[in-house]
Structure 1
């Protein structure tokens, strides 16, 4: 009877040592996966371009860099002039220094406002002269801030500043052909009429303030009078420049269907 019973231990050992089926390893999965190889990294060349230059790219870059560059230059130089203005105003407080400080501060604001307005209306490919003129013109704002309280030097330096303004108006009129406005001929005429008016106004102011400086140099007893007279002339000119620019800029925007009321 015992001989007829199967050997259980032998059967278990036989199952564990059985030969696996063809093509499969005992510990390998039934399905194999192929891991893709990583793509080769392209060689990086130092200084390699990220965008090829073309006509559209060149135009877009010129449009983007022009206004930001001008405003940045003006802001840096005006920061220096503003620091000098604050230092000299509070160091030597007087009636003349106070009036001259207000006039000088408004000049800073008007110069920044003018560059901001022209950056909207006019764009061209910048050159070396475009980099030089903002430095040269804005640098003329520094001496008046340094000579606050001095009727002679302040008037004479501001006379030079307004002569520089007149020259800048002439250059802007020369470099603003009709192509900036497309088919809107009347908008181009409005801008050039504004530039001629401001050029004339700047020349008259330069001459008048220069005379105040000369008279202050010759007449030592009336420094306050000549200093205040020069300041009043400057304040009047600043008001005219802002008023005419606001009106003409509003008219130009209206030609293109943009609602921009003056002094809005």
Structure 2
């Protein structure tokens, strides 16, 4: 048997896996943004769609698969360079990434197809995009995925048997899979272009299979890491199985895509186009051009401009935040694993975990804050509303990259906290009393909450700067835990308390049912002890009166 090559003669597969982890996280951000945008559009649309919402299944499946692939590759980054099992781990992880990436493209295709039934206004443009996406899925994607998996298989075989031109039966399996994808592409383009009656069931099954295979990839990598040693030579059947599964899934996806959309059907009449283009309450007159030329898709007027601004506000914010959060989370996972597995790591185990936990908490808080304020407030977005989330995202990504340097990490955390204060103050400047016509007190509470959170961020930045000046392993750990259990808990607790009050004032109960049951038990206990009962909010935002209070007139 040919001796395995030394670590200096093989590519740095763990580093490559780190880049794949970041790429998967970025794509997961796009998938999450698509889910949020689709749900937001469905909730805010004046005429609720029925067909496009079916695309949620493939989008959610792609998002879950890409998150699993990011975590899968993050596990691979902890492997030593040139170890016996690292190439097989990368191939197994590549199965999940390939399937999730294919699912993301498939979800976009399904979304475009379903758009024809709910919004057939721009049918000619959409059909061109659908044909393009279908060509990619049917003709090119299966072959590309098989080639990528084959390259990973050859890396695994090279680790086991040295550099050879051909490795026998594993290469024959890969060649057979490649030929099958090319032959299937030709057959599907020639014979299968008819939409079947049960096409939605086909999409559901493909999405379900993609999710199962993505988790199988993550579980396979975890099992190899748990039950084998780094110098264990994994059998060639493991990466070969991964390649076959990817080829089969790609062919099923191509078959489903080739039969999902039918280009038949009569085009819309001119009257139907006009009716679909403009809302019923405002129908501007559009003079047709000579010879029945093109007409404006949706002429702009004040009502449409307001509707567009309302719809684009949460979509724009949440899309940017979701993509940035995906990158930041991927960097955090990769750098944490890399720092913990480095033998010459300058940062001990406990400080690394404390700082990583604080960074993770900050990521969650950013998503949480943007979610509630985009729910409660709306305004016309400007350049700074685009720039501030992006700059804040850069401030999120930098601290994980500096985990191995405690002083630099605390300085980066201080800068991130200051950027958070700027983001809160920007929201304060856009806040107006007219946003809360039913309750002036709600405006005061939200404004006070935002100012309080900005001050908390400034205090956190100051504390981080002090710790950076006096940095040490013990002080770094204590400081991270102090910030985690004071600033983070205060920000979440204060926000929840104010938001609960604001929602109650507007007749909406946002607390879980278990909370109300616990408050009811507390109220009964206090009554038995002779104390004043706790006022439990009702679902309509009102509060019951004290038991001893007289009934109001007319009750």
Which TM bucket (shorter chain)? 0.7 to 0.9
The structure whose RCO (Cα within 8 Å, separation 6+) is larger is 1
Other-structure match for 2:301: 54
Partners of 1:183 and 1:212 lie apart in 2 by 45
Matches within 5 A, 1:18-167: 43-45=292-294, 48-93=295-340, 94-167=349-422
- The alpha-carbon deviation at position 44 of structure 1 amounts to 4.3
Higher Rg of the two aligned structures: 1
Instruction: Tell me what 1:185 maps to.
Output: 440
Equivalent residue, structure 2, for 1:252: 502
Aligned residues: 218
User: Aligned equivalents of 2:396 and 2:362: distance in 1?
Assistant: 8
Counterparts of 2:302 and 2:390, CA distance in 1: 29
Unaligned runs of 5+ in 2: 1-268, 272-290, 341-348, 516-555
Question: Do the aligned partners of residues 44 and 104 (structure 1) sit closer, same or farther apart at CA in structure 2, a change above 3 Å counting?
Answer: farther
Give the TM-score normalised by structure 2: 0.38
CA deviation after TM superposition for structure 1 residue 229, in Å: 2.9
Given that 1:205 and 1:233 are in contact with CA atoms closer than 8 Å, whether structure 2 keeps it comes out as no
Q: What is aligned with 2:459? A: 204
1:238 paired residue number = 488
Question: Do 2:389 and 2:423's aligned partners in 1 also have CA atoms closer than 8 Å?
Answer: no
Per the TM alignment, residue 168 of structure 1 is displaced from its structure 2 partner at its CA by 1.7
The CA deviation string for residues 34-81 of structure 1, in whole angstroms up to 9 with x for no partner, is xxxxx9996443xx5321211111111111011111111011111111
Distance in 2 separating the partners of 1:40 and 1:249: 48
Q: 1:228 pairs with 472, 477, 487, which one? A: 477
Query: Which 4+ residue blocks in structure 1 deviate beyond 3 angstroms?
Result: 39-45
Q: CA RMSD in A?
A: 2.0
Could you list the per-position Cα deviations for residues 139-180 of structure 1 after superposition, in whole angstroms to 9, with x for gaps in the alignment? 100111111243211111110111111122222111101011
For the residue of structure 2 that corresponds to 1:53, the secondary structure is coil
Distance verdict in 2 for CA 1:205–1:40, change over 3 Å: closer
- Contact conserved, 1:155 with 1:230, CA < 8 A, in 2? no
Distance in 1, matches of 2:417 and 2:390, equals 15
TM-score, structure 1 as length reference: 0.78
Report SS of the residue matched to 1:96: helix
* CA distances 1:185-214 after superposition (whole Å, capped 9, x unpaired): 010011011112112111111101111011
Rounded to whole Å, the distance in 2 between the matches of 1:149 and 1:188 is 44
Greater displacement, 78-87 / 108-117: 78-87
Query: In structure 1, how many angstroms separate the alpha carbons of the residues matched to 2:310 and 2:499?
Result: 20
Say which SS state the counterpart of residue 390 (structure 2) adopts. Answer: helix
Aligned residue for 1:258, secondary structure, equals coil
Provide the residue aligned with 2:138 in structure 1: none
Measure the CA separation in 1 of the matches of 2:399 and 2:317. 22
Cα distance in 1 for residues equivalent to 2:270 and 2:448: 63
Structure 1 pair 232–44 and aligned structure 2 pair: CA distance change class (3 A): farther
| Conserved? CA contact 1:194–1:248, under 8 Å | yes
Matched, 1:261 2:511: yes
State the alpha-carbon separation in 1 of the partners of residues 335 and 417 from structure 2: 22
Cα deviation digits, residues 5-58 of structure 1 (max 9, x gap): xxxxxxxxxxxxxxxxxxxxxxxxxxxxxxxxxx9996443xx53212111111
Q: 1:166 aligns to what SS in structure 2?
A: helix
* Contact persistence 1:205–1:234 (CA under 8 A): yes
Between the aligned partners of 2:384 and 2:424, the Cα distance in structure 1 is: 14
Equivalent-residue separation in structure 1 for 2:386 and 2:454 (angstroms): 21
